[in-house]
Amino acid sequence: MYEIVDRERSGGNRFGRYIVRFYTSCVGVKRLYLVSSFTSYIPGRFVMRRSGDICDAWTRLWEGYYPYFFVDSLFDVYEDDNPHKIEMNFLGKRIKASIADVGIERLKKSLEEGGLHPDYIEHVETDPVFLSRYIDKIVIRLRALKNEVRDVDVVAIDYEGGRRIYNMEKFFTDDYYDYFETYVNKDLARYIFILDLGNKKVFYGYKGFEDTRYIEPRKIFGYPRKTWWIGTIYYLIFPDSFYNADPNNDPPNKISPEIIPRPRGFLGGDLKGVIEKIDHLKKLGIEAIYMTPIHLSPSYHRYDVSDYFSIDPYLGDENDLKRLIEKAHLDDIKIIIDLVPHHASPCIKEMIEILREGKRSRFWRWFRFIIDDLDELDEETRELFREFILKRCKEVPEKLKEKKPFYETFLGTWHMIDWNHDEEEVINFFRAYVRYWLSLGIDGLRIDVAHGISDHSIENIFKELRTFGEDKMLILEIMNDITNYELGINSVSAMNYDLYNMSLRFFVNKEIDAYEYVKSLNKIYSKLPIYTANSLYNLLGSHDTPRIYTVINKDIRLLKIMYTLLFIIYGSPSIYYGDEIGMEGGGDPDNRRAMIWDEKLWNKEIYEHIKRLIKLRKKFETLRIGFTRLYPIDRDTLVIKRFLDEESIIGVFTRENIRRRYLVIKPSQIKIRYPEKRLVIDLREGYRVLRHRSSRPRYVEVLL
């Protein structure tokens, strides 16, 4: 079951997100997890805390309908008594999930009854969604129930006592709320809102509706200066597949790169290969490299780490990493490596000690065991597991595969044992990891399966990382619903799979129209701090997705449209190695084929288009740090406008496959000042990028 306990409050009468308690009976169950969209349907983020026969978990949520259920250590699903249920897939099986109505039905009733609802006028200055520092500006947001507030002004006082009134733009309306935004160009000491209700104007201050006391923020989250990761251009490298520059460190049983589809196994790529091919990235215009794990591991993908403080010798050594960092930095390229704190290889030394000492080992509590001691294992399981360990966890014996692991794992695989992030020693272990690798000069980390570990643990990793400077960054892997995480507070960025999935639904599968596509994206951006929204790791491909060129059936026109959108919209565009040359591949592991270095086999049309996009993004700062607005034009067409001061960059995109198509729009549709009554845009290629100057002389020029 669930209950809405309260809402966040500021000043006593200003409300924010809902505080929700989920609970269920846990009689006879050792451990339960809360699973929902806000955990990406993976257990781990919320461990249910036991009180007698009841286990519960608390969280903050935006209003919405949330499917949820509870699972134990073996992924068995536990239903509660909530009568509202839906069927859904979970790890390949059909289950019934309960539905939590977090404020939606009450919102609907409030809209139906009309009038004014002050408790739905929301601004929480401690939440960077509503108040944030963005380079030389301070961004202020407020939202109110749809059509109840006509207009909003902000009276802002700076530290010198200067007073100025800013009008707030209503930049988005969803099914329930109007969203207002403005920005202040000076430091902000205190401020108050003036709400135009149509028949009167009222103040909205520290205590909320009709209060005249100014809001005085104690801390404003954000960044007062430009940071390299806002709007940067990433390149994702899967090291084993990239380039083999040193045959001396090759694995003994390499697979052939000619085998299609690619099987699991080592191709032999190494760090020297990345160093040798840095010039390719520099020529392309890449600004940051994100590498999947480089640590000692039994597998080619290295997500089952057996030593977090060494580099896999098949990839090289620390000197190779230092040379890579040095070479990349000379070319103004940042280096980010993958941290895997959710699970490890059972061959990690802490687990080996547990196998010798059992529960007496200090490391027993570092992992989550289903049994209470090793004595509970039958002899056959002991022997099979011992065989698995003796073979360095490379291959699970067939008979062991028939058994369930005696420890919690990532998705039920024997290869990956879960860390217990309830233990402070585990958190300290990963803080030590951060210190070790950051001291070598890397620029940031990406946390694998961040949706499966506690917010407390992520916060500690981020704090440790920031001891190395404000220029060190953290990306979270979140597969679903990024708005219900502490982005902008305990991290810098997240992988934007929400954008990826919605783009496929709109452009490729045509499951939604442009109105739904724009509304879905606006819902995300309106619930993120602007500095986070503009730092999101935007992707069309990764080591976890099929190759985008394969997904779209090698439709180059569509690929160019989608990449152009990726380089225009909020966030930091990324390129998965080989996507810039049109590499193909299905699901894992076929999406990890060997990089093609023979330029005669490259798709030069794709390559040159991506180079042009990178050049365009570097030329116009508006594309890197500008604000964003999205406008649906018709069912198949949308406009993305990036703007900063007097300049706007306008991207127009259609999914219609009609070669002779000119789009006519009014400047007012996309809120630009232009002397002509209409804009005629050539959309025969499916996209067009324009530049608009709002200062005189006003003009529009075609960039792409």
The per-residue pLDDT for range 67-119, each reduced to its tens digit, is 999 999 999 999 999 999 999 999 999 999 999 999 999 999 999 999 999 99
Output the pTM of the full model.
0.97
Rounded CA-CA distance 10/145 in Å is 18
Instruction: For residue 6, name the pLDDT band (cuts at 50, 70, 90).
Output: very high
Rounded average pLDDT over 115-137? 96
Q: Is 11 helix (H, G, I), strand (E, B) or coil?
A: coil
What is the identity of the amino acid at 254?
K
Rounded CA-CA distance 608/619 in Å is 16
What is the identity of the amino acid at 699?
Y
> Kind of pairing, strands 169-173 and 177-184?
antiparallel
Spatial neighbors of 188 by CB under 8 A, at least 6 apart, are 138, 140, 156, 157, 158, 217, 220
Spatial neighbors of 289 by CB under 8 A, at least 6 apart, are 234, 235, 237, 274, 281, 328, 333, 334, 335, 336
The pLDDT value recorded for residue 546 is 99
Name the class of domain 110-222. mainly beta
What is the identity of the amino acid at 448?
D
CATH architecture for segment(s) 234-344+421-494+546-621: Alpha-Beta Barrel (3.20)
What is the identity of the amino acid at 409?
T
Rounded average pLDDT over 57-72? 97
The pLDDT value recorded for residue 659 is 65
Rounded CA-CA distance 572/617 in Å is 10
Report whether pLDDT(697) > 80. no
Task: Show me where the domains of the chain are located.
Answer: 2-102, 110-222, 234-344+421-494+546-621, 349-415, 626-702
From the options 3.90.400, 3.30.870, 3.30.160, 3.30.530, give the CATH code of 349-415. 3.90.400
* C-beta of residue 70 within 8 angstroms of C-beta of residue 33: yes
The pLDDT value recorded for residue 157 is 97
Residue linked to tokens 């209950």? 3
Lowest mean pLDDT among 9-13, 413-417, 495-499, 657-661: 657-661
Report whether pLDDT(632) > 70. yes
Report the greatest alpha carbon distance in the chain: 84
Q: Is 64 helix (H, G, I), strand (E, B) or coil?
A: strand
Spatial neighbors of 483 by CB under 8 A, at least 6 apart, are 62, 523, 524, 527, 528
Query: % helix / strand / coil in the chain, to the nearest 5?
Result: 30, 30, 40
Spatial neighbors of 121 by CB under 8 A, at least 6 apart, are 14, 142, 143, 144, 145, 148, 149, 195, 204, 208, 209
Digit-coded pLDDT (tens) for 345-361:
999 999 999 999 999 99
Digit-coded pLDDT (tens) for 405-446:
999 999 999 999 999 999 999 999 999 999 999 999 999 999
Rounded CA-CA distance 482/465 in Å is 21
Report whether pLDDT(297) > 70. yes
Digit-coded pLDDT (tens) for 269-294:
999 999 999 999 999 999 999 999 99
Q: Quote the mean pLDDT of the chain.
A: 96
Rounded average pLDDT over 180-203? 96
Rounded CA-CA distance 202/609 in Å is 52
The pLDDT value recorded for residue 662 is 87
Spatial neighbors of 246 by CB under 8 A, at least 6 apart, are 270, 272, 273, 316
Rounded average pLDDT over 207-235? 96
What fold is seen in the domain 2-102?
Immunoglobulin-like (2.60.40)
Digit-coded pLDDT (tens) for 25-49:
999 999 999 999 999 999 999 999 9
Buried b / exposed e across 289-328, counting CB within 10 Å, b at 16+? Answer: bbbbbbbbbbbbbbbbbbebeebbebbbeeebbeebbebb
Termini Cα distance of the chain: 53
Same fold for the pair 110-222 and 234-344+421-494+546-621: no
Digit-coded pLDDT (tens) for 640-665:
999 999 999 999 999 987 766 889 99
Four-CA torsion 606, 335, 392, 413, nearest 10 degrees: -60
